[in-house]
A and B are shown apart, each in its own frame.
Chain A
């Protein structure tokens, strides 16, 4: 590193002998592709660097990017581990990599087509039958089924690394349900916050073009050759999956519905989405679930996330799976042992990009070789589908076991050879990483890395590559693949040109008109969750107002046996709320119920709304620990009330008026109408204690209005008039029921055969009654009846739209 104007930030960047590096070439010269970035970066003071990196982290936090991990604590979320410094590669080098991977992608397609078709690779001796038959990912029900559209593979991710000689090699192929494309996008958004300047940005290839072409290809396969319109959707295992966030992100980005197994239904070998408008046909599922879980009838019978009959739909050619069910067989480690030979056989030439040297120990000579070279090997399961560095417990590395009871490697290989592979213990290249050295100090150090490259077919079936992607960065300086295990960080990969590159965005597809079917689909389950989200949020708000009313009065009287307090306690007990706790845990349960609903519709729900709901729950939990009865609790409730109305405002002001919003609003209006009926039936009952009417007005948030309209007069009549019959008061029963009628009219099938459908027919009489009634007519009995009528309305919505 002689002539380099290496800035101070790179002072500690010491290269290791025998290890390739991304920033410096073998001669110790900085690679030209990094120069522009390093020059700019070097001008930043450490404080500026920290501030910029913090901006990226803040972006990720605000966007709610997280990584779920499976742990004892269910649904715990971990912040996205961004490694702030990108990996930079020149477009020429990238193109060479992609040319090699194109060959590999075609080869993988040929292998999977053969394994589910003629089986020649096995009968000609290029793949051992025993290995394929032993793989859990070789799915017998799919043998002989040709995929809709002709291709088994539509999207592949390759994990590649750079070897000490500077060349690239493949560590593994992800063909089952490759993840990470959405995270690559988020990394890019985050690094945009770090390096917002035109340079180097103008030289970086964008990622959007890849996604645009991929979506167009999906829709083409979905539609097939004419006929009925068929939707494209993403199939997720659901919120407990570790990459669920990515699924919601990519569904939003591509404008595709995000479905779970229970959203689907198979009728006459046609996969359908259950929507609020009834079942709609599906042509393509980009599945993010493991194939074996796709169909409990023909695949794994224990699956709770699958859809019965899905395999039939696939076999009938009515549904394309991206990728085909069973493509995961290509991921098993032992496959890498046979790829070089298969490439020779099928293409007549070698792999353009080698893969990690692998030996299947089912063969005698291979077993002997692995045994004799065990100190340079990673030895593990032949069937494992994870990458070489995700070593399991029963694995040997460098001639030593990691937590196994076996006496010797030789014995292990002899006993279980056909279940094992040896893989060369490769050395990876290093790349700059911003490393915390403790006490807030950082410096740039070399860290090992691998790059994930994403390929997809375009509408013509050709392979296209994401120009960029993401790199996994090791946690320590150790350059054996071991350091790449979980717990590392993730960096953006910049593919950089010598001149500014054309800037693609994910524009709507030209011509062909705008097809609304796919994005417009509202699955019944999503609608159900939005409906209940609306109900739970409103229910929480009502409870907060009642609890506040209680503590305000408690603070004023200090007599817990006050008749009003007793009535409030009794009323809230009916809802399971115990006022002995200043911030009752039942209130927190309601908030959590709302959050659980929201978590299932995150692809349809604004990030701000989600954060607001999270903040609300967090605040309530904190207050639960600290709040004191009386004044303190009343103030706590006021804080919660402001937060929850803030949330409602966000939803009301910002949420697109699609049918999902209608269900959310319907849920709120229904809940509010029910709560008003209940409050009036109790607090405006002729037998209620003095002061109860004030509670009704206060809980109905109509104190000011009441004063303005009726001055100092206050009677049951004025209160019922304002809270039940005044159509101009948004806090009145009539107003809310009127809203239900308007919202119901916006729903599909609002009219059937020229007349109002059952839902509207149930609402209209309630509204009519309230429109013409006088306060005398709205007796306590009538209010109780009305609650029953509103419950019928709720059931009708559920039956018609939400199942």
Chain B
């Protein structure tokens, strides 16, 4: 499926400082065999004095921008045309859960795709006994790694309610879990914690979701802003698989990847530091339009 993507993020700063630096992770990724980028253009307003694109550790594109004069408002606009290639539902080639650790240990590498990065605590996902207990309960006996991922995603979908008002970008994962409400970021973090809690390497995917569903199907949650879902390592043979707990489905043809990381902290669309206090107001709009071939 081919998509035209438009994204606009606006920031208004309460107390502009002399210098402002932002690190943007907004450019859709080129993923051989799965996602192809025809065009991607990021417009930054006002024009920054410094701007460069560079890959991060996980291979995501970062756009580093800096202004050396006071900036009261900044706007980031992405326009991209991306193909999401259809893939058949993969066969479950993953090992039984109790054999997964041996396969992880056998991966003697720190390359970006290695499972080791995605097992321990990360800045926003720390081990949580309640969530681990939930994961154990949701996981069938003798499950394979891949079936465990689907089972836990499914259970989480039924446990938590999508609620855009319940949390903010900085709400701790555990709080969202206990209150059973949140947005895609919360669903994703909780599911990552759940998977790691039972030994499945899991990470965060940020990206876009098709805005309008095919005729006759319901509109998906999270389509009016950037979306987030989970990737999990299902053994050497099967590698990384993706699941969207907010919509209870594997991340298929409707999903366009921007960045992957351990959690939101690694892939935040806009990371920035403003020297002065005061904070910022932000708003976001997204359109992901499928083009008929």
Contacts and interface: CB of A to CB of B under 8 A. Distances in A.
Interface stretch (A261-269, A645-653, A744-752): A261-269
B108 A129 contact: yes
Nearest to A130: B116
A141 B57 contact: yes
A510 B133 CA distance: 68
A125 interface: yes
Contacts of A306: 273
Interface in B10-33: 18-19, 21-23
Given A265-B19, A266-B21, A297-B273, A143 B57 contact: yes
Question: Quick one: which of A124, A125, A141, A309 has the most chain B CB within 10 A?
Answer: A309
B110 A119 contact: yes
Given A129-B116, A301-B265, A308 B108 contact: no
Contact of A297 (B23, B50, B57, B105): B23
A129 B114 contact: yes
Given A141-B57, A297-B21, A309-B66, A122 B109 contact: yes
B56 A141 contact: yes
A563 interface: no
A803 B18 contact: yes
Contact of A132 (B22, B50, B110, B123): B110
Contact of A133 (B66, B110, B265, B271): B110
A296 interface: yes
Given A130-B105, A130-B119, A266-B21, A297 B271 contact: yes
B120 interface: yes
Nearest to A124: B108
Nearest to B17: A803
A262 B123 CA distance: 24
B123 to A, nearest CB: 7
Given A140-B57, A268-B50, A297-B21, A134 B273 contact: no
B64 interface: yes
Contacts of B159: none
Q: Point out which of B58, B107, B120 has the most chain A C-beta atoms below 10 A from its C-beta.
A: B120
A300 B266 CA distance: 10
B68 interface: yes
A246 interface: no
Nearest to B261: A140
Contact of A134 (B64, B120, B268): B120
A134 to B, nearest CB: 4
A215 B109 CA distance: 38
Q: Is the interface of B mostly helix, strand, loop or mixed?
A: loop
Contacts of B117: 133, 140
B109 A123 contact: yes
Nearest to A143: B57
B108 A123 contact: yes
A122 B108 contact: yes
Interface in B119-133: 119-121, 123
Which of A134, A296, A308, A309 has the most B CB atoms < 10 Å from its CB?
A308
A298 interface: yes
Nearest to A119: B110
B116 A301 contact: no
A129 B110 contact: yes
Interface string B244-285: 000000000000000000000100100111010000000000
B209 interface: no
A125 B265 contact: no
Interface string A289-312: 000000011101100001011001
A606 to B, nearest CB: 31
Interface in A578-611: none
Contacts of A132: 110, 116
Contacts of A309: 21, 64, 66
Interface in B92-151: 104-105, 107-111, 114, 116-117, 119-121, 123
A298 B66 CA distance: 14
A123 B107 CA distance: 8
Contacts of B21: 266, 297, 308-309
Nearest to A292: B123
Given A268-B50, A298-B23, A130 B68 contact: no
A123 B22 CA distance: 35
Contact of B68 (A128, A267, A298): A267
A785 B22 CA distance: 44
Contacts of A143: 57, 110
A297 B111 CA distance: 23
B266 to A, nearest CB: 8
B271 A301 contact: yes
A438 B120 CA distance: 50
B170 to A, nearest CB: 10
Interface string B53-91: 000111000001010100000000000000000000000
Nearest to B57: A140
A267 B109 contact: no
Contacts of A134: 116, 119-121
A282 to B, nearest CB: 16
A303 B174 CA distance: 22
Contact of A129 (B57, B64, B107): B107
A29 B169 CA distance: 68
Contacts of B271: 297-298, 301
Contacts of A119: 109-111
A141 B64 CA distance: 13
A267 B64 CA distance: 12
Given A129-B107, A266-B21, A301-B265, A308 B273 contact: yes
Given A125-B108, A301-B265, A803-B18, A296 B273 contact: yes
Output the residue of B57, B58, B108, B117 with the most chain A CB within 10 A. Answer: B108
Nearest to A116: B110
Contacts of B111: 119
A130 B104 contact: yes
B57 to A, nearest CB: 4
A500 B156 CA distance: 75
B162 to A, nearest CB: 26
Report which residue of B58, B105, B110 has the largest number of chain A beta carbons within 10 angstroms of its beta carbon.
B110
28 contacts: A119-B110, A122-B108, A122-B109, A122-B110, A123-B109, A129-B109, A129-B116, A130-B105, A132-B110, A133-B117, A133-B119, A134-B121, A140-B57, A141-B57, A262-B275, A266-B66, A267-B66, A267-B68, A296-B273, A297-B22, A297-B273, A298-B23, A298-B271, A308-B21, A308-B66, A309-B21, A309-B66, A803-B18
Given A129-B109, A143-B57, 7 more contacts: A133-B110, A133-B116, A267-B50, A297-B272, A301-B123, A309-B21, A309-B66
Interface of A: 115, 119, 122-125, 128-130, 132-134, 140-141, 143, 262, 265-268, 296-298, 300-301, 306, 308-309, 312, 803
